[in-house]
Amino acid sequence: MKIKFLMAGLLAFASATVFAQKGELKTAKEEYDKYESLRQTAGMQTLAGGSLTNAKTAIDKAAAHEKTATLPQTYAVKAAVYGALAAQDSVEATAMPLLTAAEEALKKAKELDTKGDNKPEIENAGRYIAQFNLNSGVKQYQGGKYDVAYNYFDKYRQILPEDTNAIYYTGLSAANASSTDPKYFALAIPHYTKLLTTKYSKNDDIYYELSTLHLMNKDTASALKTVAEGIAKFPTKSNLRSREIEINLIQGKEAEAITKIESAIANDPKNKALYYYAGITYAKVGDVAGQQLKKTKAGAAKTALAQKKQENFDKAATAYKKALEIDPNYADAALNLGYVLINPAIDTYNAANQLPTNQQKEYEAGMAKANKQFDAALPYLQKAVELNPKSPEALTNLKTYYLGKKDVANANKTQKQIEALQGGNSPK
């Protein structure tokens, strides 16, 4: 009888111990649930924090006992509790051990919870771990450590693969990291491409950013394809149209660029950048005609080329003037306008000086025309310098004016300004 009584006592003690540990697991679950409820209520953060601390104390006991240590619920609750603690800990030294414990517990919970009984805790644990990686990624990104930020954001994305912010932040950090390590191009581009298959609210900007990545990666064809797709979906997005024009110019497709520009301007007539690109395009066509002109002998072909050059420079001037009407402080437009106006004056000046000495009247007429062209350019040349006094190009154009007008004093004065900008090493 005594032996039976002893055995019964031992069994009762063992049952009580198991019950106690399951009681700790129950307490951990209840305190964690209380935390989830309180943390979303204004003014309850302190109480929420207390519940989370209580949940950790209880789950640690349950996880330490052999009878409850391997239960799916233990792993699930521990993952959620430790994940929440890691997410709210801003000190990396103390947060990382919590995160590691949460990740290990989450992995086991997913393996063991085959029936999905602990789905809420498992999902919450994943979200907390994702939040930790998001917070860490933002911190590293803001510190300029884009490669480190990429690793955090990528972990965030792996947990929430369809979260558009996760995809974007991962791609963005890789894009920035590519400036110092080209291998990140291959990591950035797929994420931007993936975004375009989602309903991300800023996909109009993503098309533009992806085209930039392709250009940086020297893949002009993919950049143009991306922009074309973007314009088809967002026809009023002016920066996409500007990029399309830019790529056409890079590829030497000036005629196509002009067609695109005219379409873009019709769609967005107040966009100064479009008029600026129109000016660039017309000026480039004029420059090409000018280069051909130098290689062509006198005759109808030479006359036609001269006319083509002047017509396109006139169109460029009109476009730049329109850009300046929209934005009088548009320095690049002023600079380029000065160039397309003074270039014909230089041609006229040089042509007059190449005339034989027995053609005095023709020389005088040519110089008079050149002076008129130089004077027409002056206000814009001065405007370009005024808007950007540290631009060697603007100052050089102004110096050319003074040389054309035989104003040696001002030409020398302007040259000194150029030399000052270039450290005194500018050739005379």
pLDDT of residue 425: 40
Weakest-pLDDT range from 68-82, 162-176, 251-265: 251-265
pLDDT score for 43: 58
| Mean pLDDT within 292-318 | 87
Q: Which amino acid is at 317?
A: A
Backbone angles phi, psi at 264, to 5 degrees: -65, -45
pLDDT of residue 297: 78
Q: 197-201, 227-231, 292-296, 356-360: lowest mean pLDDT where?
A: 292-296
pLDDT tens digits, 389-407: 999 999 999 999 999 999 9
In the chain, the amino acid numbered 196 is: L
Q: What residue ranges do the domains of the chain occupy?
A: 17-142
User: What are the residues whose beta carbons fall under 8 Å from the beta carbon of 67, sequence distance 6 or more?
Assistant: 17, 18, 21, 22
- What is the spatial distance between Cα 356 and Cα 374, in angstroms, rounded to a whole number? 23
Instruction: Tell me which of 98-102, 297-301, 329-333, 346-350 is least confident.
Output: 297-301
Phi, psi (rounded to 5 degrees) for 44? -110, 10
pLDDT band per the 50, 70, 90 thresholds, residue 89: confident
How far, in whole angstroms, is CA 59 from its chain's centroid?
A: 44
Comparing 332 with 40, the larger pLDDT belongs to 332
Cα separation of 182 and 185, whole Å? 6
Q: Which one, of 73, 82, 59, 160, lies nearest residue 108 by Cα?
A: 73
pLDDT value at 194 more than 80: yes
CA angle 241, 242, 244 (to 5 degrees): 65
Give the three-state DSSP class for 379: helix
3-state secondary structure of 352: helix
pLDDT reading at 5 higher than 60: no
Say what the pLDDT of residue 44 is.
63
pLDDT score, position 355: 87
Instruction: Express each pLDDT in 141-192 by its tens digit.
Output: 999 999 999 999 999 999 999 999 999 999 999 999 988 888 898 899 999 9
pLDDT at 287: 83
